[in-house]
A and B are shown apart, each in its own frame.
Chain A
Amino acid sequence: MSEWLTWLAAPLSSDHLFMWRAVLMCGLLGVSASLLGCVLVVRRLSLMGDALAHSLLPGIGVAWLVCGTSVTALLAGGVVAGLMTALASALISRLTRLKEDAAFAALFITLFAAGVVLVSRLGTPIDLMHFLFGNILGLGDDDLALAAGVSTATVTVFALFYRSILLECFDPAFHRASGGWSAATHLGLLALTVLNLVAALHALGSVLAIGLFMLPAVSANLWCDRWGRMLAWAASYAVVGSIVGLYISYQAHLASGPCMVAVLGGGFLISSLISPSHGLMRRWRRSTVHHREGTAERCAQPGGPEAGL
């Protein structure tokens, strides 16, 4: 028991401020990134989120070259790059025969390559590694301040506009037909996604950042049949999984960011196997499930329409 406590406490000793910062980052961004991951998953925008993360690189790269590690500049560079990718792909898909996903794929890989060229020409190989895979043990106070702001904003928006977000994710046509702010909700969620990606960049880099968004969300989708539960499950799993990954990387001397994402991914693989209602195990239990659904079907026959409204 006391060995476990020592193991747990060792990385968080008072001279390990970098670990405190890393754990705090996992807590802050784990919650907000996984909420947005849930939106991306149910709206079938998972690959677009990935593409968006990659395309931020040149914007961040230019900002870093011009202004150094100023958080405001990095944020501005990332937001500009993200917006330009989204706008340019929308324009290309409207003005040429290409569909939007094809335009997005072509643009993001072009921008990603340009970003890598830029950073590798003007920085060191270490800089490039940090841009691609992050440096969660080298976070500064301004990184945490940005993450805290973005995370608070995201959680607040989800709490205040829970109904609008649910409607927009489930049935945008109905949302729009009933007078909701469908377009504003959609754009707002995309903007929050870009902000969270930028905030996660220093920690996880443009290649790994999307792992903190998608892996908790797809795992939660395998376990939960209610939207609210899926959000809560994803947020909890993101925080716990990323901190476990961080601990393992510390104790086993492994690269931190990849270790965190690998742990989250391991949980996803296990979920896809053992989730009772939506995992691969379901196939083995198919006959019993079908039997149960058949029974429910017979119980639910309409008793005939009744008047009186």
Chain B
Amino acid sequence: MSPAIVHFDDVTVCYGRRPAIHHLTASWPAGSMVALMGPNGAGKSTLLRALLGWQPLATGRITIAGSPVADARPRIGYLPQRTLVDWDFPVSVRTVVEMGRFPRRGAFHAFTAADSQAVDAALDEMGLTQVQDRQLAVLSGGQQQRTLLARTLSSGADIVLLDEPFVGLDPASVADLIHRLRTWAGQGRLVVAALHDIALARRCFDQALLIRTHLIAAGPIAEALDDHHLAEAYGSDYATPHAASAAEGALHDHGDH
């Protein structure tokens, strides 16, 4: 498969007549961890929705390794926000991971040995083999998140989009999740996470895309998230070093609870 490079070329997305993203041009290289950042309402979710093909583009185009998004859909794995998933739903961990194979098999075709192997491998890699017959609600937050990662893994996706994946996880689970995502990036996958925690992004991600309906900065994390750009995205209060570290501390504390 050609490298998982996502390219946005002059992309504008509108809700009704109100543009949520203006003329955005940027690239996400394969094998990297991209932090998608910006204040609330900046268009982070809209950009993910556009990439998933749920939101029509008013201008421009999005390509994956040079092809239109519609042709590369099986390559995209999407993890919704934790709070949007019904963890009480009557399914086992294994069934959720099997869902990653449903798109390949369609509605009618039976699972093959290759499907079972892919599911076993995904459960094993995510350390879920021992809990595969459990219902989701009795798992820890970290295990629940890993169940969704295993589903992405079994689907064979190499572009992984995560919407606020660290919200509500304890520090050990955050560290574990980061470690797994970094491993995936090292294997050539493209990992993109929408998040708010600037300190976490600086520590663990390679690339950033900072937006506030329009592009503010894109590229290597240190340059994209410098004080000047952060002030432009989050307001001038953020520029002073004191306010920045205080805000980061608050964000970090928030992430720990």
Binding site for B on A (CB under 8 A): 42, 160-164, 166-167, 169-171, 173-174, 176-180, 221, 224-227, 229-230, 293, 296-297, 299-309
Q: Taking each of B91, B126, B130, which has the highest tally of chain A beta carbons within 10 Å of its own beta carbon?
A: B91
Give the complex CA separation of A87 and B32 in angstroms.
Answer: 45
For chain B, the bracket of interface size reads 35 or more
Q: Is the CB of B125 within 8 A of A170?
A: no
Give the complex CA separation of A229 and B54 in angstroms.
Answer: 33
- In the assembled complex, which residues on chain A have CB atoms less than 8 Å from the CB atom of B103? 178-180
Encode B198-236 as 1/0 by CB contact (under 8 A) with A: 000000000000000000000000000000000000000
Q: Count the A-B residue pairs with Cβ separation under 8 angstroms: how many?
A: 101
List 19 additional contacts besides A173-B80, A179-B73; criterion CB under 8 Å: A42-B90, A161-B107, A163-B107, A164-B107, A169-B89, A170-B86, A171-B99, A178-B102, A178-B155, A179-B103, A225-B92, A230-B90, A296-B138, A302-B127, A303-B127, A304-B127, A305-B179, A309-B121, A309-B187
| 25 A-B pairs (CB sep. < 8 Å) | A42-B89, A42-B90, A163-B107, A166-B95, A167-B99, A171-B99, A173-B78, A176-B52, A177-B76, A178-B102, A178-B103, A179-B103, A180-B102, A221-B90, A225-B135, A226-B90, A226-B95, A227-B90, A227-B91, A296-B130, A299-B130, A300-B131, A305-B179, A307-B183, A307-B187
Q: Is the CB of A178 within 8 A of B107?
A: no
Binding site for A on B (CB under 8 A): 52, 54, 73-74, 76-78, 80, 84-86, 89-92, 95-96, 99, 102-103, 105, 107-108, 121, 124-128, 130-131, 134-135, 138-140, 143, 146, 151, 153, 155, 176, 179-180, 183, 187
Q: Which residue of A lies closest to B135 (CB)?
A: A225
- Closest Cβ of chain A: how far from B111's Cβ, in Å? 10
- In the assembled complex, which residues on chain B have CB atoms less than 8 Å from the CB atom of A167? 99, 102
Give the complex CA separation of A91 and B252 in angstroms.
Answer: 42
Q: Which residue of B lies closest to A223 (CB)?
A: B90
Q: Which residue of B lies closest to A170 (CB)?
A: B89
- In the assembled complex, which residues on chain A have CB atoms less than 8 Å from the CB atom of B52? 176-177
Give the complex CA separation of A164 and B108 in angstroms.
Answer: 10
Q: Is the CB of B90 within 8 A of A224?
A: yes
Give the complex CA separation of A297 and B141 in angstroms.
Answer: 11
Q: Is the CB of B155 within 8 A of A301?
A: no
Give the complex CA separation of A230 and B92 in angstroms.
Answer: 13
Closest 10 CB pairs of A and B: A302-B127, A177-B78, A225-B135, A178-B103, A173-B80, A300-B131, A179-B73, A163-B102, A305-B183, A230-B90
Q: Which residue of B lies closest to A293 (CB)?
A: B138
- Closest Cβ of chain B: how far from A277's Cβ, in Å? 8
Q: Which residue of B lies closest to A278 (CB)?
A: B88
- Closest Cβ of chain B: how far from A220's Cβ, in Å? 9
- Closest Cβ of chain A: how far from B41's Cβ, in Å? 19
Q: Which residue of A lies closest to B131 (CB)?
A: A300
Give the complex CA separation of A302 and B139 in angstroms.
Answer: 13
Q: Is the CB of A171 within 8 A of B80?
A: yes
Q: Is the CB of A229 within 8 A of B85?
A: no
- In the assembled complex, which residues on chain A have CB atoms less than 8 Å from the CB atom of B91? 166, 170, 226-227
- In the assembled complex, which residues on chain A have CB atoms less than 8 Å from the CB atom of B77? 177
Q: Which of A42, A178, A230, A306 contacts B125 (CB 8 A)?
A: A306
- Closest Cβ of chain A: how far from B172's Cβ, in Å? 10
